[in-house]
Each structure stands twice: as C-alpha cells, then as structure tokens.
Amino acid sequence: MPEITKITTQKKSKHRFNIFLKENEQEYYGFSVNEDILIQYYLQKGQFLTPETIEQIQEKDESYKAYTLSIKYLSYRMRSEKELIDHLYRKEVDDTYIGEVITRLRREGLVDDLAFSEAFVRTKMETSTKGPLMIKKELAEKGIQASNMEQALSFYTFEKQFDKVEKLAKKKLEAASKKSYRQQIDSVKQSLMQKGFTSNVISEVLNNLEVERDDGEEYNAIVYQGEKLVMKYQKEDNGYALKQKVKAALYRKGFASDLINRFLEEHISEH
C-alpha cells in the first residue's frame, strides 16, 4: 500500500500540493491536490493510501478544479450555462465534472439562465441601440431557451422600444437631409430593422413623427445630389445624353419627376 513520504507546495500555485508516495522502497510522485482536498482527506506524511482512496481523491480534486475554474470565470460577469460549459471545454475539463459543477452551481444560484437573460436584456436596453430581435438572437447564441428569452424580453416593452426608435429615427433623418424624402424613409427603416426593431414599431414611430419636407428642402436635396451626378457623368456625356443619365439616376434616388425636370432645366443645357 502506498505511503505518503513528502508533501510540497507547487511553485506556481501556493494552494496546490504535490503528494509523493513510496511503495516497495521506491519513492515517486503520486498526484497533486488543492489545499481544500488536502485538508478534507487529512493527507499527511506517513499516511497509507489504498489505490481506491487515491482514485477517489483525484476525482474529487478534478471536480474541485472544475468548480474553481467556474467561479473564477463567473467572477467577471454573469454567464449563461452554455458560456460556462464552453469555457470548461476549452480548459479540457471532462464531461463528468462539467455536469457535476453545473448541477452544483445551479443549486447555489450562481448559474441561472433566466436571471442571466433578464440582466442581459436590461443591460442592452440601457447601454445599446439594439432592438429586441437582435437581443433575442444574441441570447440564442448564448444557449438560452425560448421560454427564458420571451420572459426576459417582456421587459423591453413596446413603449420602451418606441422611445428608443423615435430618438434613433430623428437622428437618422437629420443625418440624411441631403437625400430624397423616399431615400430618407428607406434609410431610416433599413437602419432600424438592422438594429433589431420590428416593422410595427418602426411604422408607428414614423407615422407619429409625421415626417414631411417642404418643396424647398426637397429641392435643396435634389440640387446636392444632382450636381454630384452631373460632375460624375459629364466626363463622358453632355447635352441630351447627360440629361437622360442624370434624370434616370435621380429617379432611382426617389425624387419626384417635377423636381427632377426643374433641376435639369436649371442646371443642364442640351447645347
């Protein structure tokens, strides 16, 4: 039966200990354990250990390592179960110990996908411009079940979405003032949908804003866009051909035909 002959502290970790054994007059390195496991099994010099006890100690130590790795990972911020499991796999922890530690952490309330989801949604609502659809996608990537996602996203009420979309829409409309009215609206819708807001709340906001432009604003926009097009196309064309190219391009940009014709008459000569 192996006998403990020496216990030394590891150089890289003062809380881990190397256990040296002797059997048949041969001394050798046996295994290493964490300080808590050392105390739990009262390991000391001169103690005899059966092979079964050694195996039990090593299994206990592996489980403890998985737990301490998890606690360290959780100390930075809340994590979903999937995030934690993926982390333990990266650390090459065996499936058996991963299952054990997840069960323990659930019991201790340190891993809770619903609480994680609710905190995640609140944080994204307060610190980002993301809509519920994008947040839902991110939760799914973190392994959150549909029921937990739906419950957490209930905090992101229609009213809160409306307020956020309204602010974003106003900012986007102001930034797109040099575009046609149609391009402005399309640009706002596309931007907001990419952020994860639904078409319902976007339409409601735009209807509420009563986005309108007077002819002066729209004409200023067509002059801005039209002059750029003239500079682009006049390198190869002039007169009627230039007019037709600019006209087609302005149509594609969403300007009304009467404004296009006015711009062409005032800015391009067919001679």
What average pLDDT does the segment 141-167 reach?
Answer: 96
The token duo for 222 is: 């067509």
User: What domain range includes position 131?
Assistant: 113-153
Residues 11 and 45 in one domain: yes
Angle of helix 199-209 relative to helix 181-194, nearest 10 degrees, comes to: 140
Q: Residue 85, by phi and psi: left (phi above 0), alpha (psi -120 to 50) or beta?
A: alpha
212 pLDDT higher than 60: no
- Greater model confidence, 142 or 187: 142
Q: Which two tokens stand for residue 252?
A: 């594609």
Both 164 and 199 in one domain: the answer is yes
Angle between helices 158-175 and 199-209 (to 10 degrees): 60
Question: Residue 224 belongs to a domain with what CATH number?
Answer: 1.10.10
Mean of per-residue pLDDT scores for the chain = 89
Q: Give a yes or no: residue 64 inside a domain.
A: no
- Give the residue-averaged pLDDT of 165-172: 91
> Mean pLDDT over residues 230-239, rounded?
78
Question: Does residue 233 sit in the same domain as residue 249?
Answer: yes
Q: Does 69 fall in a domain?
A: no
- The last residue of one of the domains, among 209, 229, 245, is 209
The answer as to whether 128 is a domain residue is yes
Q: How many domains does the chain have?
A: 4
Taking only the tens place, the pLDDT of each residue in 66-106 is: 999 999 999 999 999 999 999 999 999 999 999 999 999 99
- Choose the weakest-confidence range: 118-127, 160-169, 179-188, 197-206: 179-188
- The residue with greater pLDDT, 243 or 4, is 4
Q: Examine the pLDDT at 211 and tell me if it is beyond 60.
A: no
Q: Are residues 243 and 256 in the same domain?
A: yes
Full-model pTM: 0.71
Q: Is 63 part of a structural domain of the chain?
A: no
Q: What is the mean pLDDT of residues 225-239?
A: 79
Average of pLDDT values for 218-234?
A: 78
CATH number at residue 122: 1.10.10.10
30: in domain: yes
Q: Are residues 203 and 235 in the same domain?
A: no
72 belongs to a structural domain = no
> How large a percentage of the chain has pLDDT more than 90?
64
Domain contains 249: yes
Q: Please name every residue paired with 29 in a beta bridge, in sequence order, or none if there are none.
A: 20
